[in-house]
Each structure stands twice: as C-alpha cells, then as structure tokens.
Amino acid sequence: MYVLRRLALWGRLRSPWLLHFNSGSCNACDIELLAAITPRFDVERFGIKVVPSPRHADILVVTGPVTRQAAPRLKRIYEQMPSPKYVMALGTCACSGGVFRGSYAVLNGVDNVIPVDVYVPGCPPRPEAIIDGIIKLLKKMEAEISGK
C-alpha cells in the first residue's frame, strides 16, 4: 500500500495538469498563462500541461474577478474535477477583484465561490510568477499527500 501511495504521489507531482477557466478576466492573465507554455518559458518540460477537460485536470487555474454569470459555471467545473483537486487564483482580479471590486456584476475574487490553494497576484503576473506559483502549489501538494 505504501509503495502504491508513493508511486501515485510521484506521478502526481511530475504531471500536474492544468485546466484554465476565464471567469471574466480581461485576457491579459490568459495570454500570460498561454505564453508560459510556449517555447520561451516552456513549462511542459516539467510535465505541466494545459488540458481541455475538467475530468483530466489536477489544478484549476482561474483568472478574472468571477462575474455573476460565470460563477455557477465555475462551481460546476470545480465539482466535475476528480479529487485531489487544487485551485490557483491567477492575477489580482482573481485574488481580490482588482479594479473591478465593488461592481454590480462581479463577486470580488475566486475565494468567494470555491476554495483557493495558491494566489498569484500581479496585473498580469509574469510567466515566471505563474511558474513559481505552480511550484509552490506542488510543494504544498507534496506535504499534504505524504503527510496523510
């Protein structure tokens, strides 16, 4: 059992698959996330991959301040992910609402809708910051899973 658990942990830490969901972002964070997977930064060499379906994903990367219309969809996507699942709030809007805080159409941040594991502030965060955020999340995953 112990060996199997170690094996699962090894696999999980070396292939964190991301699902990107835009909950009302202005596209700046989204293009920086996309830039992170292209040749200059190339996170795929660490096994990090952006996948199209929530059923395949380990980490949900949410950008944007969560608009009222996107919030139920965000919740549903989170519920569709298999556990253990982790959430990364990307950009100042996703962390706190940013410049849109207080608008009638937004819910001021991802943590008002679903639990968040790591926050990456910045408007938009640089690709390096995004990679750093993922590494921090992986360390957290390791501590959490191996500690159980």
Q: Which residues bind other proteins (CB under 8 A)?
A: 20-32, 34-35, 38-40, 52-54, 64-65, 67, 69-70, 73, 77, 98-100, 102-106, 123-124, 126
CB of 93 to other proteins, least distance (A): 8
Q: Which residues contact 83 (CB under 8 A, 6 or more apart)?
A: none
Give the residue with the Cβ less far from other proteins, 124 or 133.
124
CB of 69 to other proteins, least distance (A): 5
CB of 67 to other proteins, least distance (A): 6
Q: Which residues contact 109 (CB under 8 A, 6 or more apart)?
A: 65, 66, 89, 93, 94, 95, 96, 97
CB of 141 to other proteins, least distance (A): 23
Give the residue with the Cβ less far from other proteins, 86 or 138.
86
Give the residue with the Cβ less far from other proteins, 9 or 54.
54
Sheet with 86-90: strands ordered across: 49-50, 17-22, 59-63, 86-90, 118-120
Give the residue with the Cβ less far from other proteins, 13 or 28.
28
The tokens of 132 are what?
A: 């750093």
Closest by CA to 90, choosing from 98, 82, 81, is 98
